[in-house]
C-alpha cells in the first residue's frame, strides 16, 4: 500500500476512535458529568485505534500521524479533567484515568520510536528508545502486580473477619508496600543491566 494512503487511512481510523468516544458520551461540551451507561463505544474506539496502529506500524510517517491523534486525545483528556464546561467522562474513577493516560503516553512513545532493533556486527540489539520502553512497561506491570499482591496479603493477614471490616479499608498500605518493593526490584535490575552492558566492551 502507498505510504500516503496508508497514513491517511490510519489517521482516519484513529480519528474515528475519538469520534466513537464522543458519540458514546465520554466527552461532554456542556459541563455535565453524566457517566456513559455502557462501555460499548469504548470498546469500539479501542478496536479502531488498534486497527489504526496495526495499519500504521510499517510506515514511520503513518505512525507519526497516529501519534498526533493520540496526542490530541491526551489533550482532550487533560483539558476535560480540569475545565467545568468541557468534560472527559470516565467510568470507574481516577485509577482508570491514570492508567488510560499512561497507556496512551506509552503508545505515543512506541509510535514515535523510529527503530526498535539495530545490528551490531552479527548480532541484533534493541535501540535505547526500545529498551527504555520495555523497562517502563515491565516496571509498570510489576508495580501493579506488587500493589495487588500487597493488598491481598494485607487483607488476609490483618482482616480476620467482618468485625474488622474497617481495618480492611487501609489495605492500600499493603498495596503501597508491594508496589514500592516491586519498584526497588526493578531499579536494582536496571542498574545491574546498565553495569553489565558497560562492562561488556571493557572485558571484550
Residues sharing a CB contact under 8 Å with residue 149, sequence separation 6 or more, in sequence order? 178
Beta bridge partner(s), residue 88? 27
Q: Are residues 108 and 43 in the same domain?
A: yes
**In contact, 27 and 76? CB cutoff 8 Å:** yes
Q: How far is CA 155 from the centre of its chain?
A: 28
Q: What is the mean pLDDT of each run of 10 residues along the chain (204 residues)?
A: 88 90 70 62 88 91 91 77 54 66 86 77 75 87 89 77 56 85 91 80 48
What 190-194 contacts at long range (C-beta under 8 Å, 24+ apart), as own/partner pairs, is 190/135
Where is the domain boundary, 61, 90, 112? 112
Give how many domains the chain has, as a whole number. Answer: 2
What 185-194 contacts at long range (C-beta under 8 Å, 24+ apart), as own/partner pairs, is 185/142, 186/135, 186/138, 186/139, 186/142, 186/143, 190/135
List Cα–Cα distances, 79 to 85, 96, 173, in angstroms. Answer: 10, 17, 31
Residue found under cell 535501540? 127
Report yes or no: 188 and 135 within 8 Å, Cβ to Cβ: no
CA 7, 10, 11 angle in degrees (round to 5)? 85
Task: Determine the pLDDT at residue 54.
Answer: 93
Q: What is the pLDDT of residue 38?
A: 64
Residue 139 lies in domain: 123-203
Together in a domain, 107 and 11: yes
List the beta bridge partners of residue 129: none
Which residue is listed with cell 497507556?
103
Is 75 found in the same domain as 169?
Answer: no
Q: C-alpha angle with apex 145: 139 to 148, nearest 5 degrees?
A: 140
Same domain, 108 and 140: no
Of 63, 79, 112, which one is at a domain's C-terminal end?
Answer: 112
d(CA 19, CA 50): 15
For 10, counting Cβ atoms within 10 Å of its Cβ (0-12 exposed, 13-18 middle, 19+ buried), the class is: buried
Q: Are residues 148 and 189 in the same domain?
A: yes
Amino acid at each position: 500500500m502507498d505510504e500516503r494512503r496508508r497514513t491517511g487511512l490510519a489517521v482516519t481510523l484513529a480519528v474515528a476512535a475519538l469520534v466513537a468516544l464522543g458519540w458514546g458520551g465520554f466527552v461532554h461540551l456542556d459541563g455535565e458529568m453524566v457517566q456513559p451507561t455502557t462501555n460499548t463505544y469504548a470498546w469500539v474506539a479501542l478496536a479502531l485505534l488498534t486497527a489504526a496502529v496495526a495499519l500504521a506500524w510499517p510506515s514511520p510517517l503513518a505512525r507519526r500521524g497516529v501519534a498526533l491523534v493520540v496526542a490530541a486525545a491526551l489533550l482532550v483528556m487533560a483539558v476535560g479533567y480540569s475545565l467545568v464546561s468541557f468534560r472527559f467522562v470516565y467510568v470507574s474513577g481516577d485509577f482508570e484515568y491514570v492508567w488510560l493516560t499512561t497507556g496512551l503516553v506509552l503508545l505515543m512513545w512506541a509510535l514515535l520510536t523510529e527503530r526498535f532493533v539495530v545490528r551490531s556486527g552479527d548480532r541484533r540489539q534493541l535501540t535505547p528508545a526500545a529498551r527504555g520502553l520495555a523497562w517502563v512497561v515491565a516496571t509498570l506491570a510489576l508495580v501493579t502486580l506488587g500493589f495487588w499482591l500487597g493488598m491481598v496479603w494485607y487483607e488476609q493477614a490483618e482482616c480476620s473477619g467482618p468485625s474488622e471490616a474497617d481495618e480492611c479499608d487501609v489495605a492500600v498500605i499493603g498495596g503501597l508496600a508491594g508496589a514500592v518493593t516491586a519498584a526497588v526490584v526493578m531499579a536494582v535490575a536496571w542498574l545491574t543491566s546498565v553495569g553489565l552492558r558497560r562492562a561488556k566492551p571493557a572485558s571484550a
